[in-house]
Chains A and B, each alone.
Chain A
Amino acid sequence: MTGLTPESLALLIAATLNAGTVVALASLGLLINERAGVLNLGAEGMMLVAAIAGFATGVHTGSDWLGFAAGAAAGAVLAGAFGLLVIWLNTNQYATGLALSLFGAGLSAFVGITYTQQRLPERPHFAIPGLADLPFVGPAFFKQHPLVYLTIALAIGLTWFLMRSRAGLVLRAVGESPESAHALGYAVRPIRLLAVMTGGALCGIAGAYISLVYTPLWVEGMVAGKGWIALALTTFATWRPARVLLGAYLFGGVTMLQFQMQGQGVQIPSQFLTMLPYIATIIVLVLISRNPTWIRINMPASLGKPFHPGA
């Protein structure tokens, strides 16, 4: 590509990391949900409510970290309501999740009405001292918001948690076969609720990131489909945290790339470039789903199915 200098490549990488973090964070949260066997289609709604909660808190308190906390709380509360419905009342997971998405969209728009003209205090700049000054890798990797690094750490930690810790084993057991876990004496439903609420909190932080860091404004619907992308990403990544990260950065990269290509004067109509991330997701979905045995091995067996103790 003409005009792609090392400087602009470094900046492209940095932008990709930034863009990918939102989706990665939400997707990791959903991964926790799904590992426990619960599919929450309400990610978009949770992220929207968290975005306005975070923004409003940021405006009133001036503190970003309180804003993130508010976002996490909002996500957890909504996820908790969802969890009560699907885990205890056994409502249909897909429909309930959809209802959450729609309700969250409406609620966030409603609450956000007075906040459209507001702005946050000056945004801080982040750079890791020393590392940020290195040529190329400095601007590419080391000038990010702390949450970008925390997300990477989270993915690593989650991998360890799921594969190496006892608690993680229990979580996976609940997702694979809740009946067996129940028979072994594990409290399946509270564990699922905990997983759902943790997932909701992470989606909430992702939502707050959008309104506090990514585009520090409030606008109705500003999550713009990232919740749905995050859902696709967990399947895309066959429920492995490290792959979630890769997929998220891939998605973020393609998003930024299409603007880059427009600026370079690439002759493809911009609409086709905008389609790229979505088509890429479909292609990868097809590739990984091809082998039904593989999917059966990788997907939590009880995903989406209601659990009746003693049934």
Chain B
Amino acid sequence: MFKLEPRAAPSKALTLASPLIALAVTVVIGTILFAALGKDPLAGLRMFFVEPLRSGYALAELSLKATPLILIALGLSVCFRANLWNIGAEGQFVLGAIFAGGVAMQATPDTGRWILVAVLGAGVLGGMLWAGIVAALRDRFNANEILVSLMLVYVAEMLLSYLVYGPWKDPAGYNFPQTITFLEATRVPKLMQGLRMNIGVFIAAAAVLGFTLFLYRTFAGFQLQVGGLAPAAARYAGFSSRKALWTALLLSGGMAGLAGALDVAGPQGQLTPYVPLGYGFAAIIVAFVGRLNPIGIVFSAVLMSMFYIGGELAQSRLGLPKALTGVFQGLLLFTLLACDTFIHQRLRWVGTK
């Protein structure tokens, strides 16, 4: 019978190959699904893997989706490495959007461009505040961060709803639940005329660099990772788990808040009940598929964005159901997790009993 036994050292080949194998398996199952639905599998695959990359417009759209995923996943990767399960990034995203929107609404036609910094900064603060609640409750009361952060997602959504239906509603908006459209000065500048891509891409790139440095070159980053991998050793070495808790949560909250601010001051341009887009949850998959590694996260964010956009295109052009996107994303994560086990363990045939 087969026996799973630990390897002496993690298999380098599989570390690389595992995401590709997972992707391949997902593609194979996808092909079967397309055929089962009576659609041309090649056309289906093209929608997911080729169309989103085909033109400048398509790439711009891809960047709009990938940027928030990268930002949030970077923050989450720090959390997960520290063994802190922040499931509530979606709520932190919403709070970031709320704070950013609140600042943006203060702008008058005379306000200068500097207000964008304030808007984005407010977003970071909002996300940090929301994650800070989770950290505080865990720090003082030992409350499980998974559940608290998750409950706070619902609270955040209701808070947004209250604001856009009530005190922040646009008085000239026929009583529809939305704020005023933000003035031009507060909007995230686009890179090119006609494309929706904006400077968020540069912010994401800078973040990737920053996190790479933090995780692999600073002592604080090192402490955080040891704390997650071997908590007893970390305690023995005097690494403060409390510091790790606050650092990780505030960092991931801030990143999620930044993503929310970029989205609201960018493509959305106002606060509406449609601000929560599910990025906070999708970023969890992105973080995992990217192996909690900043460069890996960039690739997995691009992949996930392709799934999103591909799913939309598959629906509008081929009549395939939109639910496919969710199936693919879940499947990818599943197969990845299964493949990953073989990095640290291997299957051996042991003689029959």
Q: Are A285 and B143 in contact (CB under 8 A)?
A: yes
> A102 near B330 (CB under 8 angstroms)?
yes
Given A107-B330, A235-B144, A295-B142, A91-B341 contact (CB < 8 Å): yes
B185 CB–A CB distance under 8 Å: no
| Residue A228 at the chain B interface, CB threshold 8 Å | yes
* Number of interface residues, chain A, beta carbon within 8 A: 49
> Cβ of A282 and Cβ of B323 under 8 Å apart?
no
Is A96 located at the chain interface by the 8 A CB criterion? yes
What secondary structure prevails in chain A residues at the interface with B?
helix
Q: State whether A104 touches B330 (Cβ < 8 A).
A: yes
CB of A222, distance to nearest CB on chain B (Å) = 13
Is A106's CB under 8 angstroms from B330's CB? yes
- From A269, A282, A292, B162 is in contact (CB under 8 Å) with A269
**Which residues of B lie under 8 Å from residue A278 when comparing CB positions?**
151-152, 154-155
- B338-353: which residues lie under 8 A (CB-CB) from chain A? 338, 340-341, 345
How many angstroms between the C-alpha atoms of A160 and B162 in the bound complex? Answer: 45
User: Which residues of A, 78-98, contact B by the 8 Å Cβ criterion?
Assistant: 85, 88-92, 94-96, 98
Could you tell me the distance between the alpha carbons of A232 and B147 in the complex, rounded to whole angstroms? 6
CB of A289 within 8 Å of the partner chain: yes
The reply to whether B166 and A269 contact each other, CB–CB distance below 8 Å, is yes
CA distance A87 to B288 in the complex (A): 19
B154 and A275 form a contact (CB under 8 A): yes
* Chain A residues in 8 Å Cβ range of B330: 45, 99-107
Contact for B151 among A113, A232, A287, CB less than 8 A: A232
**Set of chain A residues within 8 Å of B85, measured between Cβ atoms:** 94
Contacts of B300 in A (CB 8 A): none
Q: Is chain B's interface secondary structure helix, strand, loop, or mixed overall?
A: helix
Contact (Cβ within 8 A) A271 B137: no
Name the contact of B334 in the complex, choosing from A96, A235, A271, A272 (C-beta under 8 A): A96
Q: Is A64 an interface residue (CB 8 A)?
A: no
Does B299 sit at the interface, judged by CB under 8 A?
A: no
A102 and B147 contact, Cβ closer than 8 Å, known pairs A271-B165, A274-B158, A286-B137: no
Q: Which residues of A contact B137 (CB under 8 A)?
A: 282, 285-286
Chain B residues with CB under 8 A of A101:
330
Report the minimum CB–CB distance from A186 to chain B (whole Å).
18
Of B6, B150, B323, B340, the contact of A110 (CB 8 Å cutoff)? B323
Least CB distance, B161 to chain A, in whole angstroms: 5
For B181, what are the chain A residues with a Cβ–Cβ distance below 8 Å?
A: none
Nearest B residue (CB) for A299:
B144
Residue ID in chain B nearest A275 by CB atoms: B158
Partner of B155, one of A96, A100, A279, A287: A279
Contacts of A225 in B (CB 8 A): 154
Question: In the complex, what residue of chain A is closest to B154 when comparing beta carbons?
Answer: A278
State A285–B151 Cα separation when bound (angstroms): 11
| Residues A106 and B325 in contact in the complex (CB < 8 Å), given A96-B334, A271-B158, A289-B143 | yes
* Shortest distance from the beta carbon of A51 to any chain B beta carbon, whole Å: 14
Query: Which residues between 248 and 294 of chain A lie within 8 Å of chain B, taking CB atoms?
Result: 269, 271-272, 274-275, 278-279, 281-282, 285-287, 289-290, 292
Known: A272-B158, A290-B141. A99 touches B333 (CB 8 A): yes
Chain A residues within 8 Å of B338, by CB = 85, 89, 91
Interface string of B295-335 (1 = CB under 8 A from A): 00000000000000000000000000111111111110110
Find chain B residues with CB under 8 A from A98 CB.
87, 284-285, 333
Q: Are A231 and B147 within 8 A (Cβ)?
A: yes
A88 to nearest B CB, angstroms? 7
Contact with B along A104-139 (1 / 0, CB 8 A): 111101101100000000000000000000000000
How far is B328's CA from A290's CA once the two chains are assembled, in angstroms? 40
Given A88-B4, A91-B340, A109-B321, check contact A102 B333 (CB 8 Å): yes
